Amino acid sequence: MFQLLYADSKGRMYEHPEALAVGRTGGLFAEIEEEEMIPLPEGASLVMVPGGVPVAIGANGSFNELTSAPDGAPCFAVGALLPQGFARTMLPAYRRKDKHPLPLFGYAAVGWKDGRVYVAAVQTDNLEKWNPSHYGTSELPGLVYDMLDRQGNNRVITQLAKCALEYNCFTAQNIFYRRWEGGIPVSPVCNARCLGCISLQPAECCPAPQSRIGFVPEMWEVTDIAVPHLIEAEGAIISFGQGCEGEPSLQAPLISEAIKNIRSYTGAGTINMNTNAGNTAGIKEICSAGIDSLRVSTISAREETYTGYYVPISYRWQDVYDSIAFARDKGTYVSLNLLIFPGLTDIPEEAEALVALLAKLDINMVQIRNLNIDPDFLSSRIPLASNEVMGINNFIDFLKAELPGLEIGNYSRPVRNNDI
C-alpha cells in the first residue's frame, strides 16, 4: 500500500497519514499495485495538478475525494513529471471542476512508502545521452552566442538558439554542444491538427508551450548546420521534424536536395526525419534521396483512434501505412514514435492491432513516448478504457513476446556511422 501524496495551496508536498494513493487508467480509478511503482528516478519532478482534488482510498476502503488535509486546509492532487527513458503506467487520480484543459504535461501517479516517493512508471531506455544533467550547463550560453557570432545570418541557427536557451530543447542544445542527435527545423506548416501539438494549438485546448518557425530555410542554411555536425559529433544524428515546426515532409524538395548535398560532403552520421508520414509523395521523394531513418509518430494502429487524435487535414491512415511500406522497401530504418497513454495503448484491441502492423511492415523499432495531454480532454475526443486493460508493463511484455526481434526504447539510434 502507498500513502497518498498531496499538496497545499503553496505547492508544498505532504504524505497523508491515513489515505492511500489511487491511480487512473483510461476512465477508471484503481488501487495502485506494487508492480506498477518504482522509486522516483533522478530527473523527475513532483508537481501539483492545477485544480485537481485528489481521489484516495479512505479508511472505509472506498474511493473518496479528499477536499481537505488533516489540518482542514485545502489540498490538491500531486503527480510526477518523468525524464525521458521512463514510461508512466498510471495517471494521478483526481477530479477537477475547471473544464479548461491542463497544460501539456505527462502527469504520472505517485505514492509514499517507507520514507520515499514512488511513481507509477517503468524504465524503457538507457538515460546516458538524455540525462538532464548533460543539458543546460553553464557553458551552453557561450556556445550558443559563439555560433551566433559566426553564423548569425543563418535563420535556423537563430531559431535553435531560442529553442536551446528558452525552451530547453535537448536536440537544439546538441547542435551547439556538437554531439549526438541535433534537430534542424524546416517546416512552418503541418497537415494534421494533433490534439496535443506542442507548437500550435486550437483555441479550445491549452496554450502551446513553444512557438513554431515562420519560414522555410534555404538549402545552405540546412547544410551549414548538418555537415559539420555529422562530421564532428559523437554518435551524430541530424533530425528534421522538431517540436518547433510542423510536418517536415511538406518540405520534401528542400530536404531531398539537402540530403544529396550533405552526402556529397560526407557519408558520416545518420540523417533522420521525425514525421507523421501522411504525405506519401513527400516521403517517397525523401527516401529515394537516401535518408537513413524515419521516426513515424502514431498513437495507434487503428484508423479511428489515429484519426481522432491526429485530425488529419490532407491525408488518411492508409497514407501513413503506404509511406512506411515504401520506406521499408527502400531499406530505410523505420521507428514508430508510439505515444502511449494508460487506458488507451493497453486496450487489448489496440495492442493486437499494433503487433499486426509492426509484423506486416517489418518495422525496426518502437520508441515509447508518454502522451502529454489532459486525460479528460483526450477522453472527449477518443474513447478511453472503461473496463480492465492489460496495463502498460504487460503491454510492453506483450510486444517483446510477440515480436522478439523488435527493438524497444525511447530514443533514435545512429544507423549509419561509417564515412564513405
Whole-angstrom Cα distance, residue 357 to residue 360?
5
Q: What dotted CATH number matches 132-409?
A: 3.20.20.70
Whole-angstrom Cα distance, residue 327 to residue 239?
16
Whole-angstrom Cα distance, residue 171 to residue 185?
11
Residue 98 C-alpha cell reads as 475547471
Sketch the domain layout of the chain as residue ranges.
Answer: 3-123, 132-409
Contact 40, 47 (CB under 8 A): no
Q: Is the dihedral of CA 315, 249, 84, 361 positive or negative?
A: positive
Residue 199 has pLDDT above 80, yes or no: no
Q: What is the pLDDT of residues 282-340, one digit of tens each?
A: 999 999 999 999 999 999 999 999 999 999 999 999 999 999 999 999 999 999 999 99
Residue 196 has pLDDT above 90, yes or no: no
Question: In the predicted model, what is the mean pLDDT of residues 14-21?
Answer: 92
Contact 199, 243 (CB under 8 A): yes
Q: How high is the mean pLDDT of the chain?
A: 93
Q: What is the pLDDT of residues 357-387, one digit of tens each?
A: 999 999 999 999 999 999 999 999 999 998 8
Whole-angstrom Cα distance, residue 275 to residue 261?
21
Q: What is the pLDDT of residues 69-87, one digit of tens each?
A: 888 889 999 999 999 899 9
Residue 169 has pLDDT above 90, yes or no: yes
Lowest mean pLDDT across 9-23, 197-211, 329-343, 382-396: 197-211
pLDDT attached to residue 209: 66
Inter-CA distances, 288 with 21, 244, 282, Å:
53, 26, 10
Question: Predicted confidence band at 212 (pLDDT cuts at 50, 70, 90)?
Answer: confident
Whole-angstrom Cα distance, residue 23 to residue 63?
11
Q: What is the pLDDT of residues 228-247, one digit of tens each?
A: 999 999 999 999 999 889 99
Q: Which helix (H) or strand (E) holds 253?
A: helix 252-265
pLDDT attached to residue 107: 96
Question: Predicted confidence band at 419 (pLDDT cuts at 50, 70, 90)?
Answer: very low
Amino acid found at 164:
A
pLDDT-above-90 percentage for the chain:
83
Contact 223, 255 (CB under 8 A): no
What SS3 state is found at 270? strand
Amino acid found at 258:
A
